[in-house]
Amino acid sequence: MTMSDIIKVMLIDDHALFRKGVGQMISADPHFEVVGEAASGQEGLDLAQKLLPDMVLIDLNMKGMNGLETLRRFKATTLNARYIVLTVSDAEDDLLEALRAGADGYLLKDMEPEDLCANLLKATTGVTVLQDSLTEVLKHALLEPTVRKTTSDAALTEREHEILECLADGMNNKTIARKLGISDTTVKVHIKNLLRKLNLTSRLEAAVWKHQNTPKG
């Protein structure tokens, strides 16, 4: 692919409004043409065989087949495309799993529109593109040996602490999202991350853990 070619892009994300918004941003750049959108991994896989895009943008957190599984399946096809993960998750595990699965880039949904297009353009040259803020995450992952964390809430962010409190109060994702002024998807990402950090497997375990580890006043 030469830089003068129009780059055909396909979007896979289960949020219609986000697809539309990103599609408009990318289409405004003369280097790109958005040739298709899909609301699920399977729909994206099917559509790509017909549209043959040069680049596929994939969300990580989707209902049904998630972004990582979608990416793995794409890599098993004969489609010659660049695969960029575009997500809200800046978790180390998600970044490493995506790179291991063959992602050509890992970008966050809160990046500036002009930065998004610049990174996508760079990815067409064969460079693996990473959101600037994630280079430190990757460096930490490479320098730190992988060890099983002890069950402690010391590693939780302030937001994860807030969500843990909400789980202990029995709130569902929608209620937590409303209370904290964030999206359901963001709540799910934070819950996934705090469960990983605490070595727990479910929100119920997290609620029980919080009750057991809260000092009695």
Same domain assignment for residues 131 and 168: no
Same domain assignment for residues 122 and 39: yes
User: 20 with 93: CB under 8 angstroms?
Assistant: no
> Could you report the per-residue pLDDT of 44-99, keeping only the tens digit for each?
999 999 999 999 999 998 888 899 999 999 999 999 999 999 999 888 888 888 98
User: 67 with 58: CB under 8 angstroms?
Assistant: yes
87 φ, ψ (degrees, to nearest 5): -145, 170
Same domain assignment for residues 116 and 169: no
Residue 185 maps to which CATH number?
A: 1.10.10.10
> What is the arithmetic mean of pLDDT over 5-21?
93
CA dist 216 and 212 (Å) reads 9
Count of structural domains, the chain: 2
Range of the domain at 112: 7-141
User: 160 with 192: CB under 8 angstroms?
Assistant: no
